Chain A
Amino acid sequence: MIEIRRHHAAFCTEHFLAMFRTQVEKAIRRFQMMEPDDRVMIAVSGGKDSLALWDVLLGLGYDVTGLYLGLGIGVYSDRSHDVAQAFADARGARLRTVDLERDHGYDIPTAGRRGSRSTCAVCGLSKRYVFNRAALEGGFDVVATGHNLDDEAATLLGNTLRWQTEAIARQSPALPARDGMVKKVKPLHRLSELETAAYAFLRGIEYVVEECPLVAGNTQLRYKEAINAIEHTSPGTKSQFFLGYLERGMPLFSAEDRAELHACEACGQPTTGRFCAFCRARAQVLGERLGGGAETPDRQVAEELADEVLPVEIYDRAGR
């Protein structure tokens, strides 16, 4: 049995799994996330959310390929890749792997030490860049990620606390393709973290329970704790906050979505500046120069990265 307090209901396994799939189908239909013949790339971390989503999408008959990004976080990354590969092998599904160190010259622990951004921020930036580029180069129609209701509510809270109106305008669970950016969708946005964990457990999915060793104390976690404290005494607040935003809040911010994009001079991926945030962060970590100009001081890069609206950040400024 699993109890979902916001629904005032307890479910047996069979009905819980049916409810879970129905919520995913509802999200896909409501936001026209994908068509039956679309080639879907799913960003896979080895955690409960991405593997639960992969399982549901395969069950619904979609053509889904996994993409795992090796972050170079020691045994945590090794185990995450093994778990993702085992999931794919058991279902005859395809899994592609990009490795940050092998393919881009740095790993996340190094970037966290050398760069001017937090470890989680540069990790999120790297993921969004790699997934977009890999999907475009692989001819995929859409990238699906395992962001759940808790993730989205926490991001919305962070964006609202800072009144980041452009980010608020773009927090739709389905962002259409534009200017070198592949379509991005979040089919789990109606389901809480408790529900995705329960689904993975009840489906017998082995996932990485351990938390990333670098994540302790990050901003997203603090926002989740704050929302969960309210949810504990007022079940349903979390879904009212985010799903209410989608129905009534998001349209009010649409005028704020105004970033114009063009190709990064280094890699060709879309950016609002001369070089994209990924290339600038990577150059900073590796001590390289971009475009043959004078090396930009760390402090200046940090300030620019913080201020500029950058495509790899457009989807989720709170960083994931």
Chain B
Amino acid sequence: MRPAAFVFAVASLAQWLVPLVGVWQHERIIARGVAVRFECAAPDPYDPFRGRFLAVRPAETMVLAPEGIAQSADGANRIMVPVWATLVADEHGLSHIKSLSLEPVSGPTVIRLGARLSGETNGAKMVMISWPLDRFYLNERLAPDADRLVAERLGRGKPPVAEIRLLDGQAVLTDILLDGVSIRETVKQQAK
């Protein structure tokens, strides 16, 4: 085999492997992960490669800082650090952050997040949370209607609910729900 043909074969294999590894990881989380729901906001922006999406913003962004997070004296607090959050569900089935840890913890409802020291509230140190899910892709015909629907509901104090699957601290956003129904279905119903 010529060297060029060998390099081409390896490159072609890698071109399949990179996306397929992503497919395998996320299919595994969807199939075996625990379903978790929480309130969020979701305006409608655009990605040049992947089209329209709802920019998912979980409601919980400021929480009590975990023990041992860097203090401001050395400046390290300005950099986002990984934390592991344990989620618990309330009586409505919506999840909230129960605790944060700087060390990896195990459990079915643990999710890896980013955290940065943000200041103090009532004397307690708080961190700003960065969630590993920020977009829910929609068909470009549905996205404007979905955006309008979400805005109306947010105005009435009824935010949408994001449904995710969790496995080994990794998350996949599977749906956005309005009154327990997928936003895709709701928008399609309204369009009829």
A binds B: no
**Which A residues are closer than 8 A to B by beta carbons?**
none
